[in-house]
Each structure stands twice: as structure tokens, then as C-alpha cells.
Structure 1
Amino acid sequence: MAEEEFLKTGLSPSHALTLMNIDFQPGLSQKELSEIMNIKPSTTTRFIDKLETRGLVERKTKGKSSYLYPTPKGIDLQVEISQCWTNLYKRYTKVLGQEKGVELTEIIDKAATKLEENIHE
């Protein structure tokens, strides 16, 4: 379902989530982004490379660190990405029912929060 919803953006759900994180926190380092998303640095690099190639993100290097910023094109795509997430929620809620759809969203949110807290300990 997620892949279908995000087709119109030209991004996978993972790439869209990466862009969202950069849009919401411009100036993140690649290391911080890897921690937030709970993915390996090599995966983060691949995601950023694709977003950079598409003109959605730019890297700014300071010393040995790279910091990530959305381009105007990346910022503009955020509205469409948000709509895709909304549509995905509606689709799985239609299948699972409203109560289970909300429950699933809450479980995912709690799991993501717990994983993020664990990373920063």
C-alpha cells in the first residue's frame, strides 16, 4: 500500500521519510539522521545520494561532518508527501477498521519513540 501511495512522488516511503526528517530538522548531520531513523550510516548515505541526485536535498560539509538541508524543491514536495501518508493511513484504516488503524498508528509511534530514546542512551 505504501509503495502505491508514494508512486506519484517518485520516492519510496523510506526516501520520503528521510526527506521529511530533513525538512523538519534542517542542518541534521548524517549521523543524527541515521540515529533518528534507526538505520545504518551506509543506508543513510544511499538515501541521501538519491535525494541529492533528484535535487531535493543538499549536503553542506563543515570539517569532517556533512549537514543536510532541503532544497526549495524538497520543501515543495512536503505537501504531497504528507498527503501520501494521510492516504496510506486512510487505506489501512479502511482494511483494519478505524479503531485498529488508530491503534496501529499509536503502536508504531510508541515503538519509534522507544527506539529513538534507546539510541540516545
Structure 2
Amino acid sequence: MKQEESFLTMCLYFTSNRFARKMTRIAEEAFKELDIAPSYAYVILLIKNNPGITQQELCSKLSIAPSTSTRFIKKLEGEGLIKRKTRWKTTHFNLSDKGELFSKDVEHALSDLRKQVVTIFGEENADNLAMYLTDLSEIIKEKG
């Protein structure tokens, strides 16, 4: 490595963004056959695993802004994959029958993604990296 480029390898901002872009490409490829972006797939799985979840809970679990979750919800509702039910002032989300079937394809694609990541990094490295990034994200959330 050239000395004048060493600042890139030591820059957490640059390195983490480069890594995220590469991981995004891998994830997008894993979900390509489903014609869905990985972010939407995670919304589907969260709703499946948390029936009746609220938009606020989705935002919290995904660390996204309400406006972003609104975009996800509208698209998934438009495709008939999720349905909403409003109780008082709170809206809850569940998968539709179509969404339940589709979630099985999403789980399969996620499993394929996991296999690909493990092939690249090794299982221990993949697990450790995910845990480490989760821990660091929590630190940023608390202190940032």
C-alpha cells in the first residue's frame, strides 16, 4: 500500500462505507430473483416475526426514519404483502396471505445470503463481525 493512501485504510468512515457498498451489492444479488430490495425483505421478516408490530417499533428495530418506513410500508401494501389495522390512534401491521407465502422465499434468500457471506468470511468471522458492528452501533446510538 502506498503511504499516501494509508489514510484511507485508517479512516473508519471510508472503510465502513466501502464495506457497506460491497455488502449491499452482495445482498441485492441474493434478493434479485425476488425482485425486492433487501431492506424491504427485512421489513417483511420483522412483521412476520412480530405480528401486529407498529410503525414506531419497525423504525426502532431497523434504525430508520419514519419517512423511510412509510415508503417501505406503502410499497409492500401496494404489492399486497402486508396489511394494516388501526386500533385507536395506533396502526399495526401484519402479513397478508400473499405476504406469508412470500416470506418463505425471503427466508430462503436470506439463508442463501448467509451462506455466501460465510463462504467469503468464514462462519466465525461473519458472526463476530455482525456482533461487533451491532455493539458499535449501540455505542454510537448511546453516545452519538
Q: Deviations over 1:47-74 (max 9, x none)?
A: 0101001110011122222110110111
- The 5-angstrom pairing of residues 1-121 of structure 1 reads 1-108=26-133, 110=135, 114=138
The 3 A distance-change label for structure 1 pair 79 and 110 is: farther
* Aligned AA (1:4): E
Q: How many residues of Structure 1 are paired with residues of Structure 2 in the alignment?
A: 116
Hey, which bits of structure 1, 4+ residues long, moved more than 4 A? 108-112
**What percentage of residue pairs aligned between the two structures are identical?**
32
* Structure 2, unpaired ranges of 5+: 1-25
TM (normalized to structure 2)? Answer: 0.71
Q: Pairwise CA RMSD of aligned residues?
A: 2.1
Structure with the greater relative contact order (CA < 8 A, sep ≥ 6): 1 or 2? 1
Amino acid at match of 1:44: S
